[in-house]
Amino acid sequence: MSSDTRDRLLQGTIDALRTQGIAGVSARTIAAAAGVNQALVFYHFGSVDELLAAAAMWSTEQQVAAYREPFERVRSLRELQKVGRELHTRESAAGNVTVLGQMLAGAQTNPAFAAATRDALALWTVEIERVLARVLADSPLGEVADVPGLARAVAASFIGMELLAAVDPEGDKAAFRALDQLGALLEYLDDLGPASRAAARRAVRTAVRRSVRA
């Protein structure tokens, strides 16, 4: 498979999603965006669905790679929020939030594309989980937090805020302010003395048990 042709088709698929929406994506629109003959879609990928799945993973891999180093430098939830804000701004400006929205829309009715979109988004979750495991290691929350589940919740919240920004910019800003307040609270917990930290751990464990029973 020609690497150049493959990359052009993958990028053409992302461009078609961005400009045509999932309903307008076809071998013809992808080929037009890529500047190639539409027969190459089937020659290299077999079907439009398979190309969509490959493009979702390819695009997300590139985005995650661009943020891997900033993620590795994160040492607090505040810093994670800062990286999240930067990611939010850059991805919106690049039109990638539009692509994400179309991927999620397509996933609602196409099980194969849903699986591909899930696997692509999981790349973000893996990076976030690594950050949270490091950041929460010495926190009162570290002993009781379900880090994999929390990573999924954080990823889902950022996805939601990215989509929200397009229709409710003020609501998006309010959501980020709320996260800032949560980050400040967790930093306060981290600064407590040993006795207070122990009390905080007990309180968190009690709250978790109550939520599980509820």
pLDDT tens figures, 112-149: 889 999 999 999 999 999 999 998 887 767 677 789 99
Q: Which pair of structure tokens corresponds to residue 184? A: 């400040």
With beta carbons less than 8 A apart as the criterion, state whether 138 and 79 touch: no
The 10 Å CB-count burial string (b at 16+, else e) for 151-183 is bbebbeebbebbbbbeeeeeebeebbeebeeeb
Give the residue among 129, 131, 132 at the shortest CA–CA distance from 121: 129
- Number of Cβ within a 10 Å radius of residue 194: 7
With beta carbons less than 8 A apart as the criterion, state whether 117 and 56 touch: yes
**Type of residue at 139:** S
pLDDT in tens, 6-48: 999 999 999 999 999 999 999 999 999 999 999 999 999 999 9
Give the residue among 60, 118, 91, 105 at the shortest CA–CA distance from 172: 91
- Number of Cβ within a 10 Å radius of residue 83: 17
With beta carbons less than 8 A apart as the criterion, state whether 34 and 7 touch: no
> Measured in whole angstroms, how far is the alpha carbon of residue 153 from the centre of its chain?
10
The chain-wide mean pLDDT, for the chain, equals 85
Q: What is the pLDDT of residue 194?
A: 63
Cα distance between residue 94 and residue 108, in whole Å: 24
Share of the chain above pLDDT 70, in %: 83
pLDDT in tens, 95-117: 888 898 899 999 998 888 899 99
Instruction: Find all residues with CB under 8 Å of 63, minimum gap 6, and list them.
Output: 91, 96
Q: Which domains does the chain have, with CATH numbers?
A: 1-46 (1.10.10.60), 48-213 (1.10.357)
Task: Give Cα separations from 184 to 46, 107, 129, 155 (angstroms).
Answer: 51, 36, 20, 20
pTM of the predicted model, to two decimals? 0.79
